[in-house]
Structure 1
């Protein structure tokens, strides 16, 4: 069955791979990106399947306009993939105010506004699927990625709530959580200048690991994209798909530790209730 997809951030990385895989299997794709010329080759090869629009997710009005045009031109969109994002690297003290704002505006607010723009159209057509590309960093945290983690933990909380709000309309959500993967993510990192004070700290250790290559990238981006695509055919939609053994082990360890700490506070939590 042919599906129609709306995908942000399609110039490189997961978005580009997903666009190519979907077109090759016969699906239609509404691909958005900041530089439409990056898809010229695909447009020439798939003129009847590929719809392209320029979009910067920092522009709320543009998000709503492009989303409306895509639904109008294509008639129905089965899956909306919120993928546009990038990484901000540096200890919290090293980051500039401008870097922090851009990270929050792109990864968190951009994703929120994209989903909000899609919901009226998905309701009107009696349902659809939203895949939000998150990260293992939506449930765990590394030093030097504090604001990046804030955006991923934030969008996961947003999706958990919105999924409950729109379930009666047949709209389902999946959070995709890739682990370290050789895409353009590392090359696209916005890195803050290092402070000498952090050289011999966990922050400095992560910075060195990225520079010397010892920070291992174990995920296969094509396999991850195929799993995301396959998830759109699952009913009900999986709320989360963990992608990569590193992501699985890291998230499992974090959740196990968190649950153990919660259980250890059971009596304290119960003591905070109103008296009977």
Structure 2
């Protein structure tokens, strides 16, 4: 009689909506026990397959305790997709201090707390995979996106630095980013009611990559930043920088 196959476990921070939800749904569909940490409970189709943990990075102590208590002792796959951008694009001098600090709290500090909490569990999987959802703004910057550009660039550098401190036989780091805008509740909150989303990507575009990373533990893509398109096809950012999603300014002050 063969031994039972160990339960595979995944963690997705920021997995109730958007790209994180696309990744979480893909992993859960493979039979992986998938834990989602987010402010809101995952809703809609597939939400009942996800193990939800309430987490709010605006409350650092609550967030750190939620990660400490909720992350299983061994994790095969982890994804950080939590993100905050301002309600509207504004010049640097007009960004409120609250928005500026919230971008750092979620895009940078939240990532660092997740790494601290998840790395021991990922090492137990030998190797575990850490997937970070990055952005084209890391490579393109752009006007009226100073806080988002600064924090996503910091997150990218944090991942690359930690990956160089970590034995790849124990933890593999991969970054992924969309080739265009993604239809998500966060984006919809910034658009008019009659906005046409037909040219936007779906979070489900990340499902094929999520499945591939689950199959391989990310080993063939270790250290890569992968650009994912609307058809679910990916390529290394080294093969071509993603198109900037910044809007040109009519004038400068």
The equivalent of 1:225 in structure 2 is 207
Instruction: Pick one of 25, 31, 49 that aligns with 1:26.
Output: 31
Would the alpha carbon gap of residues 226 and 55 (structure 1) be closer, same or farther in structure 2, given more than 3 Å must change?
Answer: same
Q: 1:78 aligns with which of 76, 79, 86?
A: 76
In the alignment, structure 1 residue 110 sits paired with structure 2 residue 110: yes
Q: Structure 1, unaligned stretches of length 5 or more?
A: 190-209, 255-276
Cα deviations by residue, 1:85-139 (Å, 9 ceiling, x for unpaired) = 1222211122111111111111111112211221233334543111011111121
In the superposition, relative to structure 1, how do residues 131 and 94 fare at CA in structure 2: closer, same or farther (>3 Å)? same
Q: CA deviation at 1:53?
A: 0.9
Any stretches of 5+ residues in structure 2 without a counterpart?
245-253
Instruction: Choose 1 or 2 for highest CA Rg.
Output: 1
Once residues 83 and 12 of structure 2 are traced to their aligned partners in structure 1, the CA distance between those partners, rounded to angstroms, is: 12
What TM-score, normalized by structure 2, do the two folds share? 0.75
Say whether the 8 Å CA contact 2:84–2:107 is kept in structure 1: yes
**Counterpart of 1:251?**
241
Distance 2:17 2:90 in 1: 23
2: CA distance between counterparts of 1:121 and 1:107?
A: 22
Residue 167 of structure 1, CA deviation: 2.2
> Secondary structure of the residue that 1:186 maps to in structure 2?
helix
Give the alignment's Cα RMSD to 1 decimal: 3.1
Bigger helix fraction: 1
Tell me if structure 2 keeps the 8 A contact 1:60–1:113: no
What is the number of equivalent residue pairs in this alignment?
Answer: 226
| Aligned twin of 1:7 | 12
User: Distance in 1 between the 2:198 and 2:51 partners?
Assistant: 36
2:50 is the alignment partner of 1:68:
no
For 1:146 and 1:187, the matched residues in 2 are separated by 21
Task: For residue 139 of structure 1, give the secondary structure of its aligned residue in structure 2.
Answer: helix
Q: Secondary structure at the match of 1:58?
A: coil
Instruction: Report deviation, 1:40.
Output: 8.4
Deviation digits for residues 133-153 of structure 1, max 9, x if unmatched? 111112112322111011111
Instruction: Verify: 1:237 aligned to 2:221, yes or no.
Output: yes
